[in-house]
Structure 1
Amino acid sequence: MFIKPFRIKSQTQLKGSDRKKLRAELSQAYPSLSSEDLAKLIPSKDDVTLVRIYCYKGESVNVYQVQKDPVFFMLEKDKEIYPTVYMLWRHPDLLHIFTTHAQVIDVLAGGADLMLPGIITKGEMNPSSYGKFEKGFPVAINTTDNKVPLAVGVTAHSSMDMYMCGRHGKGVSILHVYRDQLWEMGTRSPPPNLGPPDIMLSGQVILESEDGAAEIIGDGETNENEIVKEPSPEQVIDAVQELDLGDDQTPDSSSSLSPETSTPQEEIVQTTSSDRP
């Protein structure tokens, strides 16, 4: 959504009553935030600014900026409020998390959506592999080498439909990503390094090679349910380089496939800069 420069319509300093209303909205949207968290996020004395912007396709977005960093943004069309990466670096567990390879983040920053093959899951595929949610559920995306979120989006399917797609098609529609124009609006600080995500520390990792052979990396015994299956970073890069960015390569997101359906590696990411706001 923020991959291209946007136009600022207005900037307004929030009064005390407006800040109180914003805290209430955030508390309802994200119940895990305590009153102390909200008081720090939307302070009473520091500058809190509502910046109304128009994205390059004309979408109207309200951005809430504390000091110099945007911390939340709201889409006018659906009134949903989402955290920015600056906010998630302070509260990395605020949203449901998907993990992908670090190299994929650069592609997302260029206007791509995250495809199902690019989402790393634990163990054999089952109806709960992706979690439990409906279509349009807010999620964050981190990488195999750092658990801190680097992108924010909404799920393209419900969790059950993702499972039924058999790793085929779009997984997450990206709204905001590290190094986009919304990040540029802030202090442009780099993400903290919090170490690998839990999914990468749960046991052995199986990397599937191009010929279908599996290389097991890790030590010690592990339960079968703790195995992580993922394409290798080299496969991700090769798939990205081979992408045909034309509209005819967009998979039919409404198709239903069995979980056993084989997945072409070129679907790890899908460039949708022509469709994304």
Structure 2
Amino acid sequence: MFTKKASFKPFAAIKGSERKKTLQGIGAQLEISVEGRNDLLPKAVQSAKCILHSGAKAQVFSADSHPLWIVLRDKLVPTVYMLQIDPDLVPAVYTVPNTRQFLQNGADFMIPGIFGTLPEAKAGSVVQVRTLEGELLAVGFALVDMQSVKEDDKGKAVEIVNFVGDTLVPENEMPPRKSQEPPSVPVEPQDSQPVEEKEDDEDYLGEGETLTSEEADEAFDYALRKVLSVTHSYPMASSSFASLLNENLPYSHPELSIKKTSYKKLTKFLKSAEKQGIMTLKERQNDLIIMSAKQNEENLPPAPKSRQRAPKPSAMEVQLYYSARSLAREVIAPAAIDQYYTASDLRKMVNNYISSNDLAAGAEVKVDDSLRKALGLKQDVTLVKREQVMTDFLKNCNMFHTIRNSNDDSPVKMLKGGVPHIEIKTERRGGNKVVTKVAGLEKFLIDPKAFAEKLRVVCAGSTTVQEARTGLEVIVQGDHTAKISKELERRGIKQSWLK
């Protein structure tokens, strides 16, 4: 229903009595206790009425500009944002990942798309739609009694009200899954410690070794038997089963994938297993579903070994931090002068300040003296757009960053400024001669001399290292921008850190 933008009236704070009444309505409809459940409807909640593209009237409750509840047809519907935070609010109907594209095109959820256990949900009740892996897709009204649905039934199952990626809840504004949300901890430069990384016990085959299709077949055959040695819940989407296969491969190798096997495709690999009586398959909505599989109780043979091992490439970890200047410090008091925060930390502090001082005004924020100083606004400014608040606030903060290699246990240093860049540029010298220059490697803990030796092999050309304005610079004969970028990416350098 929010596939196209709705016409909203301005958001405004609601009275305490209305909030209490709405919270009680949530409890009555969902049959849950709402005592002390401020997470369901925060005290700083706002509401606005809207008219949907279809002409239907609705009301939306939001907090911190995030929509939480939709009132439609006298029902309280949790948004996908709210369900991502509290996934157990309403019953779930499960489907395959391919259903996402149909829902995002504005279609309702159809009965043939239902997989897995049917929930106890009557027609007209609110249900959510998730993939078999648990990924949230949408929420809406059940159009049938779910327990009465038969396998060969046709028609619509759920009328979609809100889906991930529509105009109400853009995909990039979805919160992380509740179980995956990392704690946010301020970092002090003198006490910064590298994040302890879980050791990886799997073997890593050297990149110079070519993998044969027979070896790939052997590895995937072992992974299949390893997966079937453990009990799993079926039906299962082939994409989920593929993830299990990849997790149970006996070793890592850049070429080790299903494409390297003699089967070439996952579908052929699974159908071969079906012919052997290992599993039963069913095709539905252009996806292959594993309906059942025989658990292998026999002892697994030794895992196939890689012929050559090399250290697994490490990842580069970069984090931005901010330190508030004196003008901005009042808003996040009692913050220490030498304290460092992530942008997410500061956003929470600023939002808390706005809420505790009753400065929220719909899509805008009222400006008091402290906030005016923190945002660098003129004296006559009394209102500011909510989305502008953090942009202006961060301008009154000093930026810092940390860079560490995931394989390095050395203490992390807090460095001034934003994330640096590695510069790759080509230069023409004397006629048709072209060279590629790479500068800024030291900032990302890469030894220019060792990197030059590596590029000598990767680019099959001569390399030199010379002093430049910002440090050492690697020069490679010829235009090798793509190869150098790929080698840096292999070392954990993201494309956004290159220029």
1:157 and 2:144 equivalent? yes
**2:187 is the alignment partner of 1:202:** no
Among 158, 173, 176, the residue aligned to 1:188: 173
Q: 1:98 aligns with which of 93, 108, 132?
A: 93
The CA deviation at 1:2 is 0.3
Greater C-alpha Rg: 2
1:58 is paired with a residue whose SS is coil
Q: What residue is the counterpart of 1:4 in the other structure?
A: 4
Share of identical aligned residues, percent? 25
**Structure 1 residue 159 displacement after superposition:** 2.7
- The SS at the match of 2:130 is strand
- How is 1:142-153 mapped onto 2 (pairs within 5 angstroms)? 142-145=130-133, 147-153=134-140
Q: Map of 1:223-242 to 2, 5 A cutoff?
A: 231=283, 234-235=286-287
Match of 1:54 in 2: 51
Equivalent residue, structure 2, for 1:16: 16
Please list every run of 5 or more consecutive structure 1 residues that lacks an aligned counterpart in the other structure: 122-128, 221-226, 237-277
Which whole-Å CA distance do the structure 2 matches of 1:3 and 1:189 have between them?
16
Residue 25 of structure 1 aligns with an amino acid whose one-letter code is G
Counterpart position of 2:161: 175
CA deviations on 1:1-24 (whole Å, 9 max, x unpaired) are: 000011112422112222111111
Deviations 1:194-241 (A, max 9, x none): 69xxxx94256487x8xxx7965xxx9xxxxxx9976457448xxxxx
Equivalent runs, 1:211-226 vs 2, <5 Å: none
Q: Which has the higher contact order (CA 8 A, sep 6+)?
A: 1
Taking a change above 3 Å as real, the CA distance of residues 228 and 10 of structure 1, as seen in their structure-2 partners, is: farther
Matched, 1:39 2:34: no
CA–CA separation in structure 2 for the residues paired with 1:144 and 1:63:
29
AA paired with 1:116?
I
Matching residue's letter, 1:136: G
- Could you list the runs of 5+ residues in structure 2 that have no partner in the other structure? 181-230, 239-266, 289-499
8 Å Cα contact 1:116-1:171 kept in structure 2: yes
Q: CA 1:229–1:8 in structure 2 vs 1: closer, same or farther (change >3 Å)? A: farther
Equivalent in the alignment of 2:64: 67
Provide runs of 4+ in structure 1 moved above 3 Å.
Answer: 203-207, 213-216, 227-236
Residues of 2 paired with 1:154 and 1:228: CA distance? 33
Q: SS of the counterpart of 1:63?
A: strand
C-alpha distance in structure 2 between counterparts of 1:100 and 1:15, whole Å: 40
Given the alignment of the two structures, is residue 120 of structure 1 paired with residue 107 of structure 2, yes or no?
A: no
The equivalent residue for 1:272 is none
| TM-score, with length taken from structure 2 | 0.37
Distance apart, 1:110 and its partner CA: 1.1
Kept after mapping to 2: 8 A contact 1:62/1:73? yes
SS of equivalent to 1:112: coil
Q: After superposition, what is the alpha-carbon deviation per residue over 1:163-222, rounded to whole angstroms, capped at 9, x for unaligned?
A: 2x72322221111100111114x9723553869xxxx94256487x8xxx7965xxx9xx
| Paired residue total | 205
Q: Which moved more, 1:85-94 or 1:131-140?
A: 131-140
The answer to whether the 8 A contact 2:122-2:146 is kept is yes
Match of 1:137 in 2: 125
The equivalent residue for 1:28 is 28
Equivalent AA in structure 1 for residue 23 of structure 2: R
Q: Distance in 2 between matches of 1:11 and 1:203?
A: 45
Give, in angstroms, the shift of residue 103 of structure 1.
2.3
* Local SS of the residue matching 1:173: strand
Helix, strand or coil for the counterpart of 2:173? coil
Q: CA RMSD for the aligned pairs?
A: 3.3
